[in-house]
Structure 1
C-alpha cells in the first residue's frame, strides 16, 4: 500500500511536451489555464493524509464564473515535494525516502511541522481535479511556495514575450518548445541574422548525419524564452546561437535577461490578479523582451560572440579523453552524460576544445528530459573554456 501511495503522489505531473511546435504548446497551456487553482492558505488549513495534501477550511471564491471551492485532495508532484521539504525544513532526501518507504511517517512528519506554525501562510499552486461518478475529485499539488510568490504564468508570459518579439521588428520563427512540470522552454531563431563561422566549425561534422561544418559554416542568431510557474526559476530570455549544420544550440547564459517572481504578501483564499496588475507586469515583459531581442538578434552581437568562441575553440587537445574527463568533473556532469559526450566528440571529428563544446550541445539535443537538456546546453561555453585551459 505504501508503494501505491508513493507512485500516485510522485508520478502525477501536468501534461508536458518535448520539441513541440508552438501551436501544440499553446493548446496545452490553454488547457492548463482552465484547470489552474492558486490558494493562499495558513498551515492550519493544510494536512497530509496518505501522502496527499488535504485542504480544509479555505473560503470559496464567488466570481462571475461561479463558485470556486478549493477544499479537497491534491496529489503532490516531485516538484511540490521539494517545496514542502524546503518550506518545512525537512531534508529532501529524507522526505523522498519516507515517500517511497513509509508514507504514514511522511504524513506524521509533515503534519507535525505544519502544526508548529499554524498561522504561517503558503501559496499552493494546483490543478483542479475532475470528479468521476461516485468518486471525489483529486487535484494535483504542483508547488508549495511563499505567499509572496508573484504569479507569472506560462501562457501569459508566452503571449507577452511573443508580442515583444513582434515589436522588435525582427523576422523569427519558433523552432521548438518544451514543457515540463518545472519549466517552459521556447526556442526562437532568426535565419535572417546568420554569420559565417569557418574558424569555429573547421573540421567539424554533424554527429547526426555527417554533414561538414566546412561546407555549411553558418551560425544563426536566436534566443530561448524560459519561465517557471512553480518556483524553479525566473522568466528569462537568453541569447542562443544555432549551428546550422547540426542544429546545436549555444546558450550565452551570462547575457541573460530575467524577471523574478517576487511580489507582496497576499491575502488568504483563491489568488486572482487584478487586471491592472497583470497588464502592467505583462507590458513590462513585452518591453524588456523587445529590447533584448533587438540586442541578441543584431549581427554585431552574434559576430562578437563567434569571435570569442573561435579564440578558444581552436585549441588542440593532446589527450581528448582526459580533457573530457576533466571538463565533466569540473562542471559536475554525470557519468552517463560524460560517456555520451565522448561518443559525440569522436563522431564530430573535431579534436579541439571546440569539439568538446559541440559534443555537449549535440548530446543535449538527444536527452528526453527537457530541463536536463537545457541545463547541459548551458554548460557548453563553460566547457569550451575549461577544455581550452586544460589543453
Structure 2
C-alpha cells in the first residue's frame, strides 16, 4: 500500500503520524533531463544515483505514479499546457508519453536542464509516487519539520492554544491554531447574524427578510455559546512541492459558527528558494536545515506575540465594522458579482447565497460570513482555504455595490 497523501480536518496527532510515514518514504533526486522519461503516463527514472543511508543502499531508479502537482510542474518546465497534459493522462497515455519524451529528448536543442524530482518510495514492489518536478534551485522545508518547529515557537511564546483542525493535500499542509482565551466582542460585526448550521431551514416561505427578523428577535439576549465573540488565532501553511511558501496568516474564529476570517494582508511568509543543488540524491546539511527551522520557530513565536492578543483582534474588528454594516439590498446579484470577481464556481455561488439567507445578516458583513461558512462545506482543502481567504475581499466587493 502506498503512502497516504491527503487528509481533511484531521487531529494534530493524526497529521503528525501521516507526516512521519511520508518522511520515512521521502526521496529527493536532482536528475538530468536525460535520466527522466515516461512510460504509460508513469514517471520513469533511469540512471540516477543510489541513496545511501544507515539502513543500506536503495536504488532510486524506478517507476513513480505522478500526482496532479507533478503534472503541473512537468507542464510548466516543458511548456506544455497543463489542461492538455491532464487530458492526455486520462484518455491518451500514449500521447502523454510522446509529448513529454519528445520535449525531453527530441526538442531542438534537446533539454539539458536538471530538475529536482520529489518522490515517495513505493512498497511491496509497487510503483512509488512522483510528487513534484521543481527547479534545482528549490530549497525545501518539509512539512514535518515545519510543524515541529512552529509548535516549538508557539510553546516558547507561552500562550495556550488549541489546534482547530489540520488539512494535508498533494500541494499544501494547513494547521489552524486558535487561542480561545484571547477574544474580543464584536456586537456590530455580528449584529443579527446567526449560525447557518442550525435554526430554520431556508425555504417554505423563509425569505431573507423573515430570517433577519427572526434572528433579530432571537438576538435580544445572548445564550451561552451565542455571544458575538471572535477568538484570536492563525493558520500555518507550507508546501513541499512548489505550490506556495511557508506562511503564517492571522485567523479570527467566530464563536457561534466556527467561521474563520483570515487576514491575508498581515501574513508572514518565507520563500523556498536556495542555492543550486548538485546532481544526485539530495542530502540536506544539518546546518542548512537548522537555519531554515530556526527561522520557522522564530516566525511562529513572533506570530503568537503579534496575532494572539486582544488588542490585535479588537483592531481588526474595528477596521471591518464600517464596511460590514453596508446593507445588501438585492442578495442574488450581489452574490453573483462576488462569485464572478473571485472566480467561484456556480455550485459555490449557490452555497454562498444559501448561507447568506440562513445567516440572516443582510449586509456586506453577511456576505463575508456566508463565504467563510460556505468554505467549511468544501471537501477539497485547497479550495476551502482559498475560499476562506477570500472572505475579506468578498466583504469589500459587497460593500462597494
- TM-score calculated relative to the size of structure 1: 0.93
Please give the alpha-carbon distance, in whole angstroms, between the structure 2 residues aligned to 1:159 and 1:323.
Answer: 43
Q: Does the Cα contact within 8 Å between 2:3 and 2:120 map onto a contact in 1?
A: no
Correspondence 1:61 to 2:51: yes
Correspondence 1:79 to 2:69: yes
Q: Does the Cα contact within 8 Å between 1:361 and 1:377 map onto a contact in 2?
A: yes
Shift of 1:13: 7.9
Q: Does the Cα contact within 8 Å between 1:40 and 1:123 map onto a contact in 2?
A: yes
> Of the candidates 287, 291, 296, which is equivalent to residue 285 of structure 1?
296
**1:143 is paired with a residue of what secondary structure?**
strand
- Residue 114 of structure 1: aligned partner: 104
- Residue 243 of structure 2: aligned partner: 232
- Residue 164 of structure 2: aligned partner: 175
Shift of 1:14: 4.0
- Residue 309 of structure 1: aligned partner: 320
> Of the candidates 128, 137, 140, which is equivalent to residue 121 of structure 2?
128
- Residue 262 of structure 2: aligned partner: 251
> Of the candidates 358, 370, 379, which is equivalent to residue 390 of structure 2?
379
> Of the candidates 322, 334, 338, which is equivalent to residue 349 of structure 2?
338
Correspondence 1:30 to 2:27: no
> Of the candidates 123, 128, 132, which is equivalent to residue 139 of structure 1?
128
Please give the alpha-carbon distance, in whole angstroms, between the structure 2 residues aligned to 1:111 and 1:319.
Answer: 54
Q: CA RMSD in A?
A: 1.4
Deviates most, 319-328 or 67-76: 319-328
- Residue 46 of structure 1: aligned partner: 36
Please give the alpha-carbon distance, in whole angstroms, between the structure 2 residues aligned to 1:374 and 1:171.
Answer: 24
Q: Does the Cα contact within 8 Å between 2:248 and 2:268 map onto a contact in 1?
A: yes
**1:324 is paired with a residue of what secondary structure?**
helix
Q: Does the Cα contact within 8 Å between 2:41 and 2:93 map onto a contact in 1?
A: yes
Shift of 1:61: 2.7
Unaligned ranges ≥5, structure 2: 200-214
Deviates most, 113-122 or 183-192: 113-122
Please give the alpha-carbon distance, in whole angstroms, between the structure 1 residues aligned to 2:354 and 2:51.
Answer: 56
Runs of 4+ displaced beyond 4 Å:
211-214
CA displacement, residues 12-38 of structure 1 (integer Å, 9 cap, x when unaligned): 884311111100000110110111111
Q: Does the Cα contact within 8 Å between 1:14 and 1:181 map onto a contact in 2?
A: no
Unaligned ranges ≥5, structure 1: 1-11
CA displacement, residues 225-274 of structure 1 (integer Å, 9 cap, x when unaligned): 00011111000000000000000000001111001110111111111111
Correspondence 1:102 to 2:92: yes
CA displacement, residues 356-384 of structure 1 (integer Å, 9 cap, x when unaligned): 00000110011111111000000100000
Correspondence 1:328 to 2:318: no
- Residue 241 of structure 1: aligned partner: 252
- Residue 217 of structure 1: aligned partner: 228
Q: Does the Cα contact within 8 Å between 2:150 and 2:296 map onto a contact in 1?
A: yes
**1:41 is paired with a residue of what secondary structure?**
strand
- TM-score calculated relative to the size of structure 2: 0.91
- Residue 5 of structure 1: aligned partner: none
